[in-house]
Amino acid sequence: MAESKIYCKKCKGEVRLPVLAPSVRDAIAASWASDGLEAVKAMVHATGWDLREAKGTVLHLTKRRGVCHRCAAPLADRVGICPECASVNVDWLPDAS
């Protein structure tokens, strides 16, 4: 599976970013916003990763579009490092319509 990685200065770990179909990303992001365990299970199913690897990425997903998952600072990019707390954020939530 194709993927990229980004280092999180806050947790001192590497966050894996799989290349997934938009519908799969949307489903994982939506389940993270309501049920973390289901999001981790969905990531395991989509990627074939073990629970630890999947959890490491899911914990960096945002629960609100454009807002850091850790400190609630506004984010400029969909994937990147928060300028306030240095945590990696992966924003897979769809744009507001």
| Structural domain for 7, as ranges | 3-90
pLDDT reading at 1 higher than 90? no
Q: What is the DSSP letter of 78?
A: S
Structural domain count, the chain: 1
In this model, does residue 58 exceed pLDDT 60?
A: yes
Rounded to the nearest 5°, which phi and psi values hold at 92?
Answer: -100, 0
Residue 96 lies in a domain: no
- Cβ atoms within 10 Å, residue 79: 15
Section 45-71 average pLDDT: 96
Domain membership of residue 49 (yes or no) is yes
